[in-house]
Amino acid sequence: MDCTTTTSRYRILLVVVVVGMLVMSTAPIIVSASDNETADDFFDSFRAMEGTEAYQEYEEFETIRTFAVSQAQETGQLDSQQRAQLEAIETAMISFEQAYEEADDGEYEQSLETAEDVEDAIEVIAQYEETQATLASLALSRFYEDLAVGLRDEAEESEHTPTEVELLSMTATAYERANRPDEAAQFNQEAEQRDAEYEAVVEGIEDSEATAEAFLDSCTDCDSIGGALAGLTNPVSTFQQYQQSQTVVTEVQDAEADAASHGLSEQTDDLQPLSDTVGSAWLSLLVASVTVLVGYGLVLGVVSTALLVRIFAWRRTYDKAQVGSVVTVGDANA
């Protein structure tokens, strides 16, 4: 349903309700001597609400205010029912303005709570004047729809996953109160999915931290190149630790990326020094491993050179022996 159709529907309902209120306003008024807040007090209160932004945007409340002003002006003393009705109208309007301002200030959760007070007041109004209650309900439903749209936009722009989940949940609540069950179900599902993703990321971060800390505990000499070089007495262990450090570095870097993508600044701050320490250990083990390889290469080179020298020496000896043998044979033939 597009906005034009929705607005037209509300305006038609508004006209119908206003006509009903005009008819109901001719009903006889019962006067009682007992009063706390006088008709003049209500008149002044409703007059002071004129020009309020919330009522101008949601004109149903402005219509209610206008009739309340007329009712208070035309009434002498109020009986208990009239007072209860005007008090409920006053409560509904004040609470609605408060919910409107809270939403405008970004206090969405508080706005939803305050809107519940409006619902309660509307239920009381319905006991005395159904048409006014209908008008207020129409305005409140539109307010919930607008609030849901605003919450949805905030959720899409949020870079902090826990906040996004909260906004999506409130979006679902607002749509549910606006009697839009399909949209409410959709955003409830989105909130659950994002929350599951967040929980998985947090669990992954915790596992990465545990893995990194366990590695550092098992490689106490890996915090510096000198320490890693000092542990060269077991070359095989050095290579194994280097391979393990590569795995740990990758895990911690992935955890950092996940924390950043979900706006988890606290986890990012915790991972940064751990990543630096693991990276330093990886570099130390890399240098140590390269040193081992270079050392083995030098030894192999020396051994190979010695073997080549011996081979060439053997070759020369063999060649000389062959030449001597030829000369000896020649002398014998002569």
What would the pLDDT profile of 196-208 be if each residue is shown by its tens digit?
Answer: 999 999 999 999 9
Predicted local confidence at residue 135, as pLDDT: 96
Q: What is the amino acid identity at position 153?
A: D
Predicted local confidence at residue 228, as pLDDT: 53
Contact 160, 42 (CB under 8 A): no
Concatenated DSSP letters of 79-91:
-HHHHHHHHHHHH
pLDDT over 90 at 221, yes or no: no
Question: Which of left, alpha, beta for 179 (phi over 0: left; psi -120 to 50: alpha)?
Answer: left
Lowest mean pLDDT among 8-22, 45-59, 174-188: 8-22
Helix extents (H) in the chain: 3-24, 39-48, 53-57, 59-74, 80-104, 108-126, 130-157, 161-177, 181-218, 225-230, 235-261, 265-333
Handedness of CA 100, 106, 112, 114 (dihedral sign): negative
- pLDDT band at residue 3 using 50, 70 and 90 as cut-offs: very low
- pLDDT band at residue 324 using 50, 70 and 90 as cut-offs: low
pLDDT over 80 at 28, yes or no: no
pLDDT over 50 at 262, yes or no: yes
Largest interatomic CA distance in the chain: 164
pLDDT over 70 at 321, yes or no: no
- pLDDT band at residue 74 using 50, 70 and 90 as cut-offs: confident
Token pair belonging to 295:
């050392």
CA-nearest of 78, 71, 90 to 27 is: 71
Q: Which residues contact 24 (CB under 8 A, 6 or more apart)?
A: 129, 131
Q: How far apart, in whole angstroms, are the C-alpha atoms of residue 230 and residue 218? A: 15
Which carries the bigger pLDDT value, residue 28 or residue 153? 153
Predicted local confidence at residue 7, as pLDDT: 45
- pLDDT band at residue 139 using 50, 70 and 90 as cut-offs: very high
pLDDT over 60 at 249, yes or no: yes
Burial of 11 (0-12, 13-18, 19+ CB in 10 A): exposed
Total-model pTM: 0.71
Predicted local confidence at residue 13, as pLDDT: 44
CA-nearest of 40, 104, 117, 105 to 71 is: 40
CA-nearest of 133, 40, 123, 37 to 87 is: 37
- pLDDT band at residue 24 using 50, 70 and 90 as cut-offs: very low
- pLDDT band at residue 218 using 50, 70 and 90 as cut-offs: confident
> What percent of the chain has a predicted confidence (pLDDT) above 70?
69
Q: How far apart, in whole angstroms, are the C-alpha atoms of residue 285 and residue 292? A: 10
Token pair belonging to 4:
């034009």
What are 89-106's pLDDT values in tens digits? 999 999 999 999 999 999
Which carries the bigger pLDDT value, residue 322 or residue 48? 48
Q: Which residues contact 78 (CB under 8 A, 6 or more apart)?
A: 31, 32, 35, 37, 38, 39, 42, 86
pLDDT over 90 at 327, yes or no: no
Across the chain, what does the average pLDDT equal?
A: 80
**Four-CA torsion 276, 282, 286, 289, nearest 10 degrees:** 150
List phi, psi (to 5°) of 217.
-65, -35
Domain boundaries, the chain: 3-157, 206-323
Q: How far apart, in whole angstroms, are the C-alpha atoms of residue 86 and residue 95? A: 14
Predicted local confidence at residue 2, as pLDDT: 41
Give the angle 331-332-334 at the CA atoms, nearest 5°. 65
Q: What is the amino acid identity at position 151?
A: L
